[in-house]
Structure 1
Amino acid sequence: MRTIRRNEEWVFRLVLALFIVVVCGAVLLPFIHLLAVSFSSSAANAGGKVAFLPVGFHIKAYQFILSHRDILSGFRNSVLQTTIGTVLSLLLMTMCAYPLSKKIAGQSFIIWMIMLTMLFNGGMIPTYMMIKGLGLLDSIWAVILPFCITPYYLMLMMNFFREFPEPIEEAALIDGLNPIQILFRMVLPLSKPILVTMALFMIVFYWNNWFSSLIYLNKTSMYPIMLIVRNILDGQQLVNSGMAGQDTTKYISTASLKAASIMVTSLPIFILLPFTQKYFTKGALIGAVKG
């Protein structure tokens, strides 16, 4: 009997290991291929000789991209939008989710109205007219304020705060703290999992959000990095900095530039993920326990 169980466990572990290898391969191989393409020569890319190892290794594509005027300004704009947007989103969603997690007058109606916005929205044209009417066009607030409170993330935070131990809040009230002090001094320091989870969600969203900038921003100097990369991938502004001489185009292909652009813009998120993984998993599970 024990032998049968051991065999079953061994087969299960083997199947699980194979499944993990397949999933990891499906996720990592495209990035490995892009990395190889970005380091390969123009002739190798044109001939389709590049698979998962660079052919004709060089770093000219990265040198060209990192010295490109629009790329550097795009990085600056993306960091600014992502930082301000994430901090403001966490602040506003926390201030909204915490009171709604308590039994207050009109709680059900407010939550129902928030849920309604997940099913229906004003549409692109009314939203554009509202942004224009508020005078936010060609400003960083046009790509930040409309997304500060996301209903789905708000619901996750509400569910998390509902699970917060009430004795801690009652003890804080006895000590003379008001609800705002309880939130910032007691609740938030003990809510790292959900805060880090929401921060990661918002960072990825604001970092990848190029469509709003395309609609609301008219100045190239204000474009985020993802919109610039999108234009590069569409061939609209591929190498216009005056550096593209015969020596550059001889060794750098369009494929190398595109691959290098994708790798450079994805690197910040890749660096951030390992440091937030433990909080991300815990926060997502706790926030989704109750409706």
Structure 2
Amino acid sequence: MSEIIKKATRDSYGEALVELGGIHEDLYVLDADLASATKTAYFRKTYPDRHIDCGIAECNMMGVAAGLSLTGKIPFASSFAMFAAGRAFEQIRNSIGYPGLNVKIGATHGGISVGEDGATHQCNEDFALIRTIPGMVVLCPSDDVEAKAAVKAAYEHKGPVYLRFGRVPVPSLNQKEGYRFQMGKGVVLKEGTDITIIANGILVNEVLEAEKMLAEKGLQAQIINIHTIKPLDKDLVIRSAKKTGKVVVAEEHSIIGGLGSAVCDVLSEYYPVPVLKIGVNDVYGRSGSARELLRAYELDSESLAGRILHFYHQG
């Protein structure tokens, strides 16, 4: 068995940009004075002529990215999720989304696992904001392998794409032969008949660990990784809901407007079943280590197992 590698998906983002930059001369990378943190510094070191530091001016950076795309370049505009999705939302909506430009937004440091930076930097609202923009693809990979594949898929996709990456190292779950990334397609990681558990990002690993605890209690859970929040894999969601009759969605995001809401939108229309949304419960984050915060907000594997078991047995 190959060794399980732990890596933050922000590192994967930086490495993927370098790999793609060596193949595609039209790939440009923009940053807002955070290249060391977003890991676009890897690209800057290798291809300095195609890296643009826009300074602490995220809104302007989105405008620059829009202009580059109109010249035939494929820009990746990079910043923390809080600044990309939050501060620059209007520019993304009107300058990139409205004209449907071929701009990619690399948003690192998503969710509460940003850790000690605290609530101001812990973006738990980005999926809710960005998925409302017509034509925008929204991706949240679960590990190193998936993150690199998502960056490649984003480059190849014609149109705007938002990619969320994390700060905390996570196990490489997809380090296996035959792995294939398909934008808009969920992945069944484990078959089950009693309950469906859908997750994305760093919570995929937490859910897989929780599943082991649930299995010890006799619960056979179907585990699905939904790396593409928009467009959502409606067919897979509906098919699994019909199979198990109950659905749990776990994400490192507010329970309002994220993956859980997207899943509920589909099921309420096509196949209503009981759904439990697990995420950040309409509160702000706080300072602490990533692991401490996952426990505090009941997003760690032990808390997930307990909440899912209770939901399953409550009828």
Q: When the two structures are superposed, what TM-score results if normalisation uses the length of structure 1?
A: 0.22
Larger radius of gyration: 1
Q: When the two structures are superposed, what TM-score results if normalisation uses the length of structure 2?
A: 0.21
More strand by share: 2
More helix by share: 1
Higher relative contact order (CA 8 A, sep 6+): 1
